[in-house]
Chains A and B, each alone.
Chain A
Amino acid sequence: MNSISFGRYVNYDSFVHKLDARSKILFLICLMIMIFMPFSVWSTSLIFSLIYFVLLIVLMIMSHCSFLSFLKGILSMWFLFLFLIIIFIFVPNPNMSSVLLYQFSDNYAIYWDGVYQAGYIFLRLILMMSLTLILTATTKPLDLTYALEWYMTPLKIINFPVHTIAMMISIALRFIPTFLDEAQRIMKAQASRGVDFSRGGLFKKMKAVISLIIPLFISAFEKSQQLSDAMEARGYDPNSKRSKYRKLKFHLKDLFSAIFVFTLVGFIMYLSIAHGNIDVIDFVFGVKVGF
């Protein structure tokens, strides 16, 4: 791993980092709901999206996320955008009442509305994804697991193995970097034997990947066997009650952020539900913009 991709946990000491993992998950869900609140006037939706973007950037600066890697992440999603545009433009929509883009024949035409819809969905996807990545970039994977375990606690009533699942997730997360290291080591060893992972035809590449995957699987099985032995040797029993080394704690920060997030989300939800057809430009400037 020579570059830090957007969303990988980096240990900074920011406000967002210090928030409790449970509140961050809750805020993420709330903000996602907010992003997907519909407005019927397109200029209003666009303006709100812009506001969300500004908030996102503020959040990114607060949490020391690199703006460059964020842009790179968006650019790598161009294919999704193309896909959305094609679907939204070419699938006929009987309710379309917007400006004609091109008339193919008497009963088939494409409209600007499709472009707008595709763009809007893409915008919301980017917002949603970025928020999630900010969460993972600012929260230790283990804390996230503990937070999920905390949210799943009520399921214990129906004998759902919450703790076992949480343990599985945390072990899986714990071993991702280990296996990345392992993969890199094996790749280097095979490169010394003349394997070129980047060049060559399909068959050669397949052979190259096999020479990586088989040793990786073998070491994974060995490691899991060792780990389970080590856990058992130290008396691990999935069904017994366990205390925790790391405790999640709500702080005053969490309260303040909660007040801010809930107010914002509440306001947007109120606007969307009660005044879904509001035209912000008309409301503020008294000008009608539209097709």
Chain B
Amino acid sequence: MPIDVKDLHYIYFKKTPFHADALNGVNFHIDNNKFVAFIGATGSGKSTIIQHLNGLLIPTSGEVKVDDFILTSNKRKNKSISKLRKHVGVVFQFPEYQLFEETVEDDVAFGPKNFKVGKEEALLKAHQALLSVGLDESYFKRSPFELSGGEKRRVAIAGILAIEPDILVLDEPTAGLDSRGCEYIMSLLKKMHDDNKTIILVSHDMDLVNKYCDYVYVVDEGKIVNQGSPKDVFVSQDLKGDLEIPKIYYFCRLLKEKGIDLDINSINNLDDLMNQIIERIKK
């Protein structure tokens, strides 16, 4: 399902004293089966963009098109929002706060049930989703509130996965997790991506973005100010919006300052960096 966003504007609290322009003309196109990240400073409008993708926010002006679904400021045309939500699953920041059922499996099955899936089938889907996030049968009947933070987050993500969306949107999925938890979630997303799903991510962790994403959008003051592959964005241009760059590129930069110039364009990950350094030492 391709996503097409044209000249998207969004204003919070329009016509009130709290008026705030959140988005000022955002354009982008995301093809099928991409792994995309939106990065930018806090308050730059990333989360606002994301909430348009499944109709939680309606554009003030402009157009959001997901496959055949079109969202515009004209409210009467936006009838199929609940269908859209079946195809675009949004996982919010700290999703563990959305858990409410008595058992883990019921909570995960809540989503499919809302989309008119039968009870048995919903439970089946819930079990599949839970297994795919690495929670085995022993968790199914437990209360979601007695799990650890990382486990809760996985249950919450499973709650969206069980709906079987084609596009998975996540707002800071790794916030507040330890490095092992982060890697676990990201490898999970990688797996979803290999299963032909589109993954859209908002993140502040540039290392993870660099490692996993194919394409990066830099958002600043409600506009996309920069885009490209992670390497292009992090290496070639100066980064707007006070973002830090991934550690490996930062390390390269430090080396360069000390007079050791590596071929930065052929470095994509830690292994490349190590190999280049080893070669240098051998010489």
Using a CB–CB distance below 8 Å, which chain A residues touch chain B? Answer: 1-4, 10-12, 182, 185-186, 188-196, 210-211, 214-215, 218-219
Contact = CB atoms under 8 A, between A and B. Distances in A.
A11 B17 CA distance: 9
B17 A192 contact: no
Contacts of B86: 194
A190 B98 contact: yes
B159 to A, nearest CB: 6
Contacts of A4: 16-18
Contacts of B51: 188
Interface stretch (B38-46, B63-71, B107-115, B224-232): B107-115
A219 B99 CA distance: 11
Residue picked from A2, A192, A194, A196, most chain B C-beta under 10 Å:
A192
Contacts of A189: 90, 92, 95, 97-98
Interface in B104-132: 110-111, 113-115
Contacts of B85: 191-192, 194
A195 B56 contact: no
A196 B85 CA distance: 11
Interface string B29-52: 000000000000000000000010
Contacts of A214: 100
Contacts of A210: 100
Contacts of A219: 97
Interface in B1-57: 13, 16-18, 51, 54, 56
25 contacts: A3-B16, A4-B17, A11-B17, A182-B97, A185-B97, A188-B56, A189-B90, A189-B98, A190-B98, A191-B85, A192-B54, A192-B91, A193-B98, A193-B111, A193-B163, A194-B82, A194-B114, A194-B163, A196-B114, A211-B98, A211-B110, A214-B100, A215-B98, A218-B145, A219-B97
Contacts of A193: 98, 110-111, 114, 159-160, 163
A189 B153 CA distance: 13
B100 A192 contact: no
Contacts of B17: 4, 10-12
B54 A186 contact: no
A1 B12 CA distance: 10
A210 B97 CA distance: 13
A99 B113 CA distance: 63
Contacts of A2: 13
Nearest to B13: A2
Contacts of A218: 97, 145
B104 to A, nearest CB: 15
Given A196-B82, A215-B98, 13 more contacts: A10-B17, A182-B97, A186-B98, A189-B90, A189-B95, A189-B97, A189-B98, A192-B92, A193-B163, A194-B85, A194-B113, A194-B163, A210-B100
Nearest to B111: A193
Nearest to B98: A189
Contacts of A195: 114
A190 B95 CA distance: 10
Contacts of A192: 54, 56, 85, 89-92, 160
A215 B100 contact: yes
Contacts of B145: 218
Contacts of B100: 210-211, 214-215
Contacts of B159: 193
A75 to B, nearest CB: 20
Contacts of A185: 92, 97
Interface in B174-205: none
Nearest to B145: A218
B152 to A, nearest CB: 11
Interface string B77-99: 00000100110011110010111
A210 B16 CA distance: 31
Contacts of B98: 186, 189-190, 193, 211, 215
A218 B85 CA distance: 26
A214 B96 CA distance: 12
A219 B98 CA distance: 10
Given A189-B92, A191-B56, A192-B56, A215 B115 contact: no
Nearest to B90: A192
A16 to B, nearest CB: 16
B68 to A, nearest CB: 19
